[in-house]
Structures are given as C-alpha cells and as structure tokens.
Amino acid sequence: MADIRSLHDAVAELIHDGDTVALEGFTHLIPFAAAHEIIRQGVKGLTLARMTPDVVYDQLIGAGTARKLVFSWGGNPGVGSLHRFRDAVENGWPAPLETDEHSHAGMANRYAAGAAKLPFAVLRGYRGSDIPARTPTVSTVTCPFTGEELAAVAALNPDVTVIHAQQADKAGNVQLWGLTGVQKEAALAARRVLVTVEELVDTLEPRPGGVVLPTWVVDAVAVVPGGAHPSYAAGYSVRDNAFYREWDGISRDRAAFGRWLEESVGRVRGEERRAIIPAAAAGEVAPAAEAAAVSGVRAPVRAGAATRAPAPAKAATAAPVPATPAPLPTKAASQVPRPVPDCTPDELMEVNAARALAGARTCFVGIGLPSTAANLARRTVNPDLVLIYESGTIGSKPTRLPLSIGDGELADTADSVVSVPEMFNYWLQGGRIDVGFLGAAQVDRFANINTTVVRRGPGRPEGRLPGAGGAPEIAANCGQVLMVLRHSRRNFVGALDFVTTLGHGSGPRDRAALGLPGAGPTAVITDLGVLRPDPVTAELVLTDLHPGVTVEQVRQATGWDLKEAPRIGVTAPPTDAELAALRALKAATTPETSTSKAATPDAPDAPDTATPDTATPDTATPDAHGSRKDAS
C-alpha cells in the first residue's frame, strides 16, 4: 500500500547507492523534482534506465550519480546534444559512463517483459543493425513453431521506478493521462515504485485513456506541484521550451553546469522546499513560483486547466495494404527554370517531401523536417493523411507545427492515444503503417543510416550521437521509407561509421534475406534534389534536381561517386498555394519555439578549439527518427 509522504523521505527510503533506477515519462510527466532530490541526497553509482534520457538524465549524469545508462535515444529534445552525457561517454567526466543501448521498440519490450515477470521479450527488430554487437542485452531466439529467427531483449526490472502523475487519492491510488509512454510498464516491472503527483484528491474521476495504478503496486506518493517542470503535466502546465534552449548553454560548459547545479538544485532542500511548494488544492494549478523551485527556471502554467479531460478517444483505422505515394512532379532536365523567387532551398525540400505523401494513407513521422512535410501534406496534397507519432498518438491533427514528439496538442487532436509498447508492437511491427519518414546524421550509398557514433580519428574518442530511437523498426516495418535531410559530404558519406538502421544493406537482396517486410527507403529528398535506389543495384542514384541546381553541385555534396539516372528530371517549382500553406504553418508557431529551422544535422565534428576538460563539442542532435528538432 502506498504511503503519502514527503519527497525527501520517499527518496531516502526507496533509492539507494548502486540501484537501477528508471525515471520514466515519454516527453510528458518527466519526474524532474524527484531527480533533483536524488542529486541533493548524494546517491551514487546508479544504473539509470530511460527510453529518452533527455535533460533530466543529463543533469543526473553531470551531478555524478550514474555509472551506467540504459537507453534508446539521448538528446536535448528540439535543441541538440546532451553535453553532460557526451562529456561522460567521450571524456569520462565527472566519471566514466557505461551504456546499454537499444531502439525504442527494444526498450519498450524490455519493460513489458519485466512487468510480465518474463526473462525476455521477442520482436522483429535490430535486423541489419550494428546495435546487437555492442549491446549484451540483445540476442536472438528461434521460434519453436515457425523457425523464424527473432530478436530477444532481456527483461528490464528496475530496483525503483519513479514517475510523475497528475493525481493521487488519499488511499494512494494514482491516475495519469495524456501521453502515458511506458510509465505503467516501468512501474509494474520495478521492485519499488515512487510517484510524484500534482495534487491529492478525494476521489479519482475516470479519464478517457487514463492509466490508474492501484495503491497496492505503489510504495510511496509525494505531492509535488510542478514536479514535472520543465516538462509538463497535461491539464496542469505547459512545457517550458525556453528552459530546454537555455540548457544547451548551461550544460555545454562544466563550470556553468556546476553553478546551475548549486544555485538551482542544491539550494532547495527538505523543509525549505516544502515551504516553497505547498500542496495544490483540487482544481488549482501550481503557481509559477512553485514550479520554479523545482528547476530554478520559471514554468509557464495554464490556469484553470486542472480539471479538463482530454477528448474521448476515437477508433483509428489503418490501410491493410500499404499505399504508394505519388511520384514527385517533375519537368524534363532540359527545361530547368531559373531559381524560384522568394523560395528557399529548405522550402523546396519541404514542399517536395510533402508531395511525396500524396498517395499515402498513414505516415509515421518525427519532429523537424519530416513533421513539417507531413503536416504540409495534410494541408495540400493529402488532407486525409493519418499522422502517427511514436509518443503514442494516432491520427493527430495539430493546428501548428508540434513542438516535440510529446507536444500536448498531438494527444489533444488525436483519434487515439496508445502506450509506446502498443505503438511499436501492434501498429508498427504489425505492418499497419504505409510510410515512415526518417532523417539521419550519416547516410551511405545504400540508404543505410547512422545516428549512433562517429569516428574522429586515432587517439580521439568517438563522437556521440543520440542513438537509434524508433528508426530501426520504422525502416524495417513501414511499407516504405522516405528520407529528408540537407545534402552535404558530412551527411552523405562513402562509408558509415556505424549502421544504426538498415536501408538496403549492401544490395537489392539484403532486406529480403533478413526477412524485412517493408520496401525500405524509396526516396531521399534533399535541398538539392531527389535520390532513389536503382531498381537493379539498390544504390542511390540522382533522379531529380530542384530548380536552379546542377548535377555537379549534387556530386560535390556527395561523399561517393554518385551515379545519375538515364534521364534526370527537375522538380516542379512550389506553387503559390503550397508556399502560402507552408509559411502559414510555420508562422503558427511562435519564434521562441519554432521548428521552422529544423533539419537533419551534419554529423558531429569536434571544433579544433574545443577544450575537452571544460566543454563538449557542439553536435546537432537528430530526433528519434534522426532529424533535428529545434523546439520541443
């Protein structure tokens, strides 16, 4: 039975040196306040488990609490690198950090197996990826019924799972709603469970799509209004995007991080903190000053929203047979027009990526360029396109560019919201999604993708990228994959440093030999033109140029001897209606949180002036699908 107690006392009793601790919350309901209490109490030697470590684990790692990280994607959502994470991996500061690296599907299934008290879970994952070679908790098993070889991932059973939720009643029953991620699975997989909540209520009122954890599976509940800040709690607060941007500068330098740690975490202790943050009365929203005590940065809150329930979930449908997106409109190469007035290379890329979705029914999409293109497609060539985000939303209809994969509007406007394990197992692995939209840090001639590490040469540590996220299973299971990224020799490389996600392997038969059901990458759309796999060799060839671009420009921006199609087309210039829709879509997002500059980054290359003992090299961070997120 759950006890209602202070956060200080709950952490002191439940979390010990050397524990495996999962602080879950898939971009929503992230338990920042609990993480800060762990830091204040000086807990050390932790194995930290989390699908998306993001800023909360950057803080824990930088504070010296961790010896190992179990994860599937590690970046500052919408901004770039986790500099404290990278400093620990690359330079061993403040201590060396071991890693146990997975894809999102692998991590979700590890939690699910742990909750079911099974020794492992099986999935069709990691095929053609280098991840299993460096991750001992990934193996293979042969199905005793069909003979199929499947990936096996070891069950994950944390000593302690910590989550944040909206409400608990006085008996210790807990309810959370909105994007629920893997919180339920992580809690049921753990030996001990600590939940921080926005408020204590007399009775839990049922919420559509809500998750209730009964008191008898929870050890302690702590009332911490604003305890998810700078993330958010649906119905209580909104995400503090400014803090995520500020964190990039704070965390980049060791001294700046140390000052932040002392001023914003170390200063708020025990009774002092409880005096600053009183328990919220039912129906009230935690004041901004209370949330500020959690992270040291003022949190925006949405007044009067505490009792608002999400819209009822509606059934979502998916095409049983993948549709084929329409080919890009082109003109003959001999008819190359002058550059389009008042049209940027990014706009050419985004419009053509949207056109590629004209015939699709469903699209698995990430933040950044893929999201811009998919949302533009809904406003132009394909108003019925079903947008699916890995946070668990099916049929989202955002009115503006989402600020992150966990943007609350994605859940508010969705036909249905499901857990992350359901998303990857039933919808993606089940073959119900037509098109996957991916970006990358590195792409090779067969459209294989690297979002894990880059080599910097003898005597230098590997440059750390965020990891796989959902990309390996998206590329394997969607009917086909479209890729969108800026064209440069740092992105389009002759040989990958690491294969995170298989495109076409080393030739046309590799996908079939591995049993991958989807067609794989069918087009790579860049700011210079379009590359498609040759039907015989599966090697990417130049098939289309954007207006005003020459073949030589594309060849110079490609790290291998790029071949050309027998007849190279020219993409049709954006229409006035397309440009107006694209610009209106971007204008709907405020400048502070705009994703209008989101793009696939260059692979990291440490500046020569970087000083390893004071700063980590700058790296643009791909999202879970490999494209950069400039706001979340």
d(Cα 224, Cα 294) in Å, to the nearest integer? 9
Convert 480-495 to b/e letters by CB count within 10 Å (16 or more is b).
bbbbbbbbbebbbbee
d(Cα 504, Cα 491) in Å, to the nearest integer? 17
Given a contact cutoff of 8 angstroms between Cβ atoms, the answer to whether 209 and 177 are in contact is yes
Given a contact cutoff of 8 angstroms between Cβ atoms, the answer to whether 451 and 626 are in contact is yes
Report the chain's C-alpha Rg in angstroms.
24
H-assigned helices in 478-575: 510-513, 551-556
Given a contact cutoff of 8 angstroms between Cβ atoms, the answer to whether 463 and 414 are in contact is no
Amino acid (one-letter) located at 30: I
Closest of 117, 278, 264, 132 to residue 198, by C-alpha: 278
Give the phi and the psi of residue 577 in degrees, each rounded to 5: -65, -40
Residue 390 annotated as catalytic: yes
Among 198, 390, 473, 539, the active-site one is 390
Closest of 412, 425, 417 to residue 391, by C-alpha: 417
**Could you give the C-alpha distances from 423 to 169, 265, 329, 394, 473, in angstroms and in order?**
29, 35, 33, 9, 11
Cα-Cα-Cα-Cα dihedral of 285, 290, 291, 297, to 10°? Answer: 140
**Which H/E stretch holds residue 408?**
helix 408-412
Catalytic machinery residues: 390
